[in-house]
């Protein structure tokens, strides 16, 4: 499994998207912590070890870009992946500020999983499966 127990913090104000991502990540071996916005995410990062963060851009209280900036001050080694429906200008802004990657939000977790695999273990090999295999029956 690509996750091998690594902890992913999923940050998204939409509960349905958080739960979907959490389930997909758990099925691939990740441990998952969830937060509804950047403020809660920073709190979770203070409370526990996190290997990688997957965050939306648009959130109340502290958006994805500000979460990226603030987390890098304390935890510069933690990769931040922006997984959102943001516009291209904002995409370039997040990458310019040190995001590990920007991925267009989708119900197909294949790209996210491949980027996560690289973020947590650059030498990992993984096998892509059809998206319907990621959805719990």
pLDDT digits (tens, 9 = 90+) for 80-105: 998 888 665 665 556 656 788 888 88
- The boundaries of the domain holding residue 35 are 7-134
Residue 94 lies in a domain: yes
Question: How confident is residue 106, by pLDDT bands cut at 50, 70 and 90?
Answer: confident
Q: What is the mean pLDDT of residues 68-80?
A: 93
Looking at the structure of the chain, the number of domains it has is 1
**CA 115/CA 118 separation, integer angstroms:** 5
* pLDDT at 37 (0 to 100): 95
- Please indicate whether residue 121 or residue 5 has the higher confidence score (pLDDT): 5
DSSP state of 3: S
> Are 110 and 83 a contacting pair, CB within 8 Å?
no
Residue 103, domain CATH: 3.40.50.2300
Is 27 in a helix, a strand, or coil? helix
Residue 11 lies in a domain: yes
Tokens describing residue 32: 């998952």
User: Which residues share a beta bridge with 54?
Assistant: 10, 81
Any idea which of 1-10, 23-32, 123-132 has the lowest mean pLDDT? 123-132
Which residues lie closer than 8 Å to 67 by C-beta, 6 or more apart? 11, 38, 41, 42, 53, 55, 59, 80
Give residue for tokens 């959490």. Answer: 22
Task: Report the predicted TM-score, pTM, of the whole model to 2 decimal places.
Answer: 0.83
> Are 3 and 52 a contacting pair, CB within 8 Å?
no
Beta strands per DSSP E along the chain: 7-11, 31-35, 52-55, 80-84, 101-104
- Please indicate whether residue 102 or residue 76 has the higher confidence score (pLDDT): 76
Residue 1 lies in a domain: no
Residue 2 lies in a domain: no
**pLDDT, the chain, mean:** 83
């Amino acid at each position: 499994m690509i996750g091998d127990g690594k902890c992913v913090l999923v940050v998204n104000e939409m509960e349905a998207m958080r739960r979907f991502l959490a389930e997909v990540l758990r099925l691939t071996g990740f441990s998952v912590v969830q937060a509804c916005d950047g403020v809660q995410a920073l709190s979770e990062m203070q409370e526990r070890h996190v290997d990688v963060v997957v965050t939306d851009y648009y959130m109340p209280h502290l958006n994805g870009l500000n979460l990226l900036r603030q987390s890098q001050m304390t935890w510069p080694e933690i990769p931040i992946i922006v997984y959102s429906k943001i516009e291209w200008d904002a995409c370039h802004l997040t990458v310019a500020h040190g995001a590990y990657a920007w991925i267009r939000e989708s119900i197909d977790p294949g790209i996210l999983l491949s980027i996560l695999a690289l973020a947590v273990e650059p030498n990992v090999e993984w096998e892509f499966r059809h998206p319907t295999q990621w959805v719990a029956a």
